[in-house]
Structure 1
Amino acid sequence: MKVRVSLKYLIGFLILAALVSIASIVFRDFKFEDEAEPNRELSSLLSVDTKHAFSPVLPNNPVVLPDDSSFHPQYQHEWFHYFANVRDKKGHLYTVQWSYFRIAHDQRVDELGWLNSQVYFSSVVISNDRKVWREQRIARGGIGQAGVSALPLRMWIDDWTWRSLGRNPFPGHLDVKTDTFSLSLYSDLDGPYVLPGEQGFQRKHETEPTATYNLQAPFLKVYGQMKLTKETDPIAVEGTAFMSKEWGSGLMSSKQQGWDKFVLKLDDDTTLSVNRYRHEEELPYMFGTLSSKEKNIVLNSKDIVILPLNKTVIEGGRVLPLEWRIMVPRYNIDLKTAPVNKQSWLPFIVPYWEGAINTTGSDLAHGYMQLTGY
């Protein structure tokens, strides 16, 4: 029998587990997707809560830095996502993914102790073309186990932290230690921040009022080190990264099935980010940005063509479209994507596929792909 997981159930479970253990709650390879329908699970976690008056996402309210670098407790959801492509001194390639997510169950976001309504979860993933190292942590707000501070910007859950020198995320330091692997990465801007959509206001549906506020850092330089096992020496790495931050009251519309996201570094000065939001009995809604260090071009559904090419059966029998064709005809972009490691399904509390991709066609690009709701 399949179980539909609601946010109330999640919070109740977390409270019970925390009271029993009085310790960090660490989910390793948690198999939520075996117990719940992914579309229903995504919808229950990321749809707007109509019972509580969280702040709406409205146009003509531009994102402003550095004020909007910190988190926004008046909104229901917030998501900080970081993806890096790095190389060690021997030329071996790795990708690093780090996400930090906040959900407010009701408006008691400033309460201390167990009355606080905030739930945080964070995940870290290291991968190459053969293996994936991953872990997720979940915590309640109000008890010091997880949270965000603004001056300077700091995000933490247990001993996983992102620290910056000021109110903006960069320059920033990501420090993560698990029982099996760890990483320490420093990131700094190598180009401007980008505000997608209408000065950071991004519509997610053609007719429904689903939207979020967004900011991106598509040009980042990264250096640091990783330890893939307790016994091995640290590996020095360097490369590039992409950061996105999104917040609002409802990240998904009522009939949304999921989304497909692609971020591709076309060259040292140009990054393409495109999104395909899938809805029941409707055409996908697409949007994106074509960003250079000189200017940012906003793309809409009329500018973009995103087509799945082949479906792949991965471990566990899940079927996913891992190869795609992406076209932006107005700018002579025509790409075919291929995953670096097909076995990059992440069985986290919000389960999704995410990993590195390369392209052929008009550009020999590299970047990442995120597929949710499958």
Structure 2
Amino acid sequence: MSLLRWLSLSLLISNSLALYGCGEEQPTNSSAGFAGLGQTAEGFQHAEPNQAIRFPQDHAAHPDYRIEWWYLTANLEDADGVPLGLQWTLFRQALMPPGERPEPTPWAADQLWMAHMAISQGEQHHVAERFGRSHSQAPLYQPHDAQAGVIATPFHAWLDDWQLKATRKVDNADFNDLTLSAYSGEDTSRFGYTLTLTTEGPLVFHGEKGFSQKAANGQGSMYYSQPFWQIEGDVTLNGETKSVSGRGWLDREWSSQLLDARQSGWDWFSIHLNDGHKLMAFQLRGGGDSSDDTEAEQDADYRSGTWVTPQGDATPLATDDITLTPLATSSVAGREVPTRWRLEIASVGLDINIEAPHANRWMTTSVPYWEGEVVVNDRASGEPRGVGYLEMTGY
């Protein structure tokens, strides 16, 4: 990368981090970083109810929306049966609304890309981050020549040589048969993975046919998932490569104003239950009730979720159907972070404890957050019920 290109990219990154409230002067123990997702988004396209999700187009990027991600988590085991977790995420952020963008040139860019990868096993937690840029208008080059991007057919999401892509050149409308490859570091510090992802169930739409409301005032995102991944492949950790297999969950989400201005962050759960059911549940802290102007109502949490049968039938879960109670916290990166929860879903009679076996899953990225594997047990009997992932922001 040339010095001029690096300086240009650094400027774009700085602008982006400023938008998220996490510039260099921000203290490392600040909980800011995600409240910026509640800022106004004038000039951008907005997610709305009754907005149809279309395939394969919507697997690709939506540059006229302000933020977007392709987000994979996986609960795996190595050949010795030792649990292992991993994450790979590609984020896109539009730096300016469509009407303010410069004409495409070799140096102009209006889209910032950020990719995260992590591998966790036992007390080990390895994290890497990369940045890239692109232009949203007709490129001066073929799409695959861009530093970062996502195209729908055949599906391909990448930032440099980190990539999630179709294994066959077909209309890959349902994310069937993908490969994921990402590595960081050198020699004994090298870590990463090469994985094959195969679907065993349909895509799942969240909320109202894919519109996922995030606050009582009605704003939200377009949101669907592929929670039926079966994953096999190789993971490299501490310079050693081992075979792994297990289950994965991929989230697709795009929006221009994801949070209400009163919301400081979220707690998000993806759960694979042993009986084949899947569960997505989240709470956004604040913004829970716009029908009352009292401070208590404005500070109420907003909850939502989706109950998924083994066949892939999805049922939206209302705010009052979900009860989330933190049971214990852990000191992580100078913060007190809830790492043991009780989750109740009244409509399906679910009452479970969700616990992170290892608390040190802090993502030391430009916008820091907690992300790690969890185990699920029945609240009454203590019997194992499943595994999953937990993401917590704003702490």
TM-score by length of structure 2 reads 0.82
Residue 7 of structure 1 corresponds to none
Residue 257 of structure 2 corresponds to 250
Matched, 1:96 2:86: yes
Residue 41 of structure 1 corresponds to 33
Residue 253 of structure 1 deviates from its aligned partner by 1.6
Residue 236 of structure 1 corresponds to 243
Residue 301 of structure 1 corresponds to 319
Structure 1: stretches of 5+ with no match in the other structure: 1-12, 21-29
Residue 254 of structure 1 deviates from its aligned partner by 1.1
Residue 277 of structure 1 deviates from its aligned partner by 0.5
Alignment match of 2:203 (pick from 176, 190, 193): 193
Contact 2:127 2:364 in 1 (8 A): no
Residue 34 of structure 1 deviates from its aligned partner by 6.1
Residue 150 of structure 1 deviates from its aligned partner by 2.4
Residue 151 of structure 2 corresponds to 149
Matched, 1:132 2:138: no
Alignment of 1:1-374 (within 5 A): 16=7, 18=9, 35=27, 38-44=30-36, 46-50=37-41, 52-106=42-96, 107=98, 108=101, 111-142=104-135, 144-164=146-166, 165=168, 166-168=171-173, 169-179=175-185, 180-207=190-217, 209-230=218-239, 232=240, 234-279=241-286, 281-294=298-311, 295-314=313-332, 316-361=333-378, 364-374=385-395
RMSD after superposition: 2.4
Looking at structure 2, the residues matched to 252 and 14 of structure 1 have their Cα atoms a distance apart, in angstroms, of: 33
Contact 1:94 1:127 in 2 (8 A): yes
Contact 2:356 2:372 in 1 (8 A): yes
Structure 1 moving runs of 4+ over 4 Å: 17-20, 30-34, 36-39
Contact 2:353 2:376 in 1 (8 A): yes
Residue 181 of structure 1 deviates from its aligned partner by 1.1
Any idea what SS the aligned residue of 2:265 has? Answer: strand
Residue identity matched to 1:306: L
Deviations 1:44-92, CA, capped at 9 Å, x for gaps: 3x23543x51112111112222221111112111111101111111111
Structure 2: stretches of 5+ with no match in the other structure: 12-21, 136-144, 288-297
Looking at structure 1, the residues matched to 366 and 244 of structure 2 have their Cα atoms a distance apart, in angstroms, of: 29
> Structure 1's 196 and 14: CA in aligned 2 closer, same or farther, altered over 3 A?
farther
Residue identity matched to 1:361: D
Residue 9 of structure 1 corresponds to none
Residue identity matched to 2:328: N
Range moving further from structure 2, 58-67 or 334-343: 58-67
Contact 1:94 1:126 in 2 (8 A): yes
Contact 2:215 2:259 in 1 (8 A): no
Contact 1:67 1:167 in 2 (8 A): no
Any idea what SS the aligned residue of 1:302 has? Answer: helix
Residue-pair matches, total: 347
Deviations 1:231-275, CA, capped at 9 Å, x for gaps: x2x211111101110001122221111000011111252111100
> Structure 1's 360 and 323: CA in aligned 2 closer, same or farther, altered over 3 A?
same
> Structure 1's 277 and 110: CA in aligned 2 closer, same or farther, altered over 3 A?
farther
> Structure 1's 330 and 268: CA in aligned 2 closer, same or farther, altered over 3 A?
closer
Residue identity matched to 1:210: Q
Looking at structure 2, the residues matched to 252 and 242 of structure 1 have their Cα atoms a distance apart, in angstroms, of: 23
Contact 1:32 1:347 in 2 (8 A): no
Residue 5 of structure 1 corresponds to none
Residue 151 of structure 1 deviates from its aligned partner by 2.1
Contact 1:278 1:285 in 2 (8 A): yes
Deviations 1:95-132, CA, capped at 9 Å, x for gaps: 11011100001123883433211000000000012211
Residue 223 of structure 1 deviates from its aligned partner by 0.5
Looking at structure 2, the residues matched to 54 and 199 of structure 1 have their Cα atoms a distance apart, in angstroms, of: 22
Residue 38 of structure 1 deviates from its aligned partner by 4.3
